[in-house]
Amino acid sequence: MSGGEIEADAHAGITLRELEVLQALVNAGTAMSAARKLGISQSAVSRRLAQLEERLGSQLFLRSGGRLVPTVQALSINEQLKPVFETLARIASRIDNYATSKTGTLTIAAPPTIAHRFLPGRISEFKKRNPDLHIIFEVIASDALVTGIAEGRFDVALTDSIPPHEGIQTDLLISTQAICLLPVNHPLAKRDTITAQDLHHQPFVALSRRHASRGVVERVLDRLGVEPRITIEASTNVSAADFVRGGLGLALVNPFPIIHQLGPDIVALPFSPALNYNTAFVMASSRAPSAATLAFIEEIRASLDRSAYPALL
């Protein structure tokens, strides 16, 4: 070995930590100072220096008056390391900036009930914490929402209706089970649970057919021979609840996020057999989510009070 260059065979076994120890020792002059700078013990510094010297087959520091004096070889290696550690520092800085940057544009989409009854306050708080981030909030039907995510028109969406699509990936927020909504003065309102058979020939508020849950409900009721009497079809859970309040019939809906926003005129009871809903964040599968997207998902997840759905988890 000449000029302090590291041979290929020796280089293969050298660790980044050993090279950090060499650089710290050159700059600090003592094992104690180097250990303090690196946040490790003095014995760890000595051990890694010994490992590095063993790999290279030569002594890198001479002891003089309580200090470690670098040899010519150590100084040469340290000089070669400067651009390496500068590059690593730039990479780390970019990663930190990526993880913390909340600038640019974030486009969020959601179907009406989630858009109006769950997200606005949370988006407002997120915006206040990230004033330099431009947010676009789209209220859109779930089927168009999924297509928009796959095509890259939205960064993230939150929905409980997720048809199979190879262009999307999902991140579950909460799982719930269907509840039955009844007017408070309905004869069935004092029950503990509403069964499918209770809906037979009952006036019924159905969700419109564009909702995937409409088909699920119909298949379950058909299998059990139950035929509710549909009086009206509603495009959202909120409007379905309003029609129940108006006396047009019973309704089966996802309790998230409206169960505690129904008011005193409506009773919400568990329904049997269980009908499951998964409310999830939706993102494009073709690209990694942005830092702003990940931060938004994390804040929404942290804000959700799951105890508000005690019978549904």
Pairing outcome for strands 229-234 and 203-207: parallel
C-alpha Rg value of the chain to the nearest Å: 31
Query: Mind listing the pLDDT tens digit for each residue in 259-309?
Result: 989 999 999 999 999 999 999 999 999 888 999 999 999 999 999 887 666
Strand partners, 68: 63
Which CATH number applies to 179-274: 3.40.640.10, 3.40.50.10320, 3.20.20.70, 3.40.190.10? 3.40.190.10
User: Residue 92: its pLDDT value, please?
Assistant: 61
Give pTM, 2 decimals.
0.65
| Mean pLDDT, rounded, for 129-148 | 92
CATH class of 104-175+278-308: alpha beta
Question: What DSSP letter does each residue of 212-246 carry, written as one string?
Answer: HHHHHHHHHHHHTT---EEEEEESSHHHHHHHHHT
Q: From CA 267, how far away is CA 246, in angstroms rounded? A: 13
Q: From CA 213, how far away is CA 137, in angstroms rounded? A: 24
Choice among 60-74, 104-118, 176-190, 235-249 with the minimum mean pLDDT: 60-74
pLDDT class of 1 with cuts at 50, 70, 90? very low
| Mean pLDDT, rounded, for 241-248 | 96
At the topology level, CATH places domain 8-100 in: Arc Repressor Mutant, subunit A (1.10.10)
User: Residue 94: its pLDDT value, please?
Assistant: 52
CATH topology identical between 8-100 and 104-175+278-308: no
Question: For the chain, what are the domain ranges?
Answer: 8-100, 104-175+278-308, 179-274
| Mean pLDDT, rounded, for 138-146 | 89
Contact assessment for residue 31 and residue 25, using Cβ atoms and an 8 Å cutoff: yes
Q: From CA 54, how far away is CA 137, in angstroms rounded? A: 61
Top-confidence residue, 311 or 192: 192
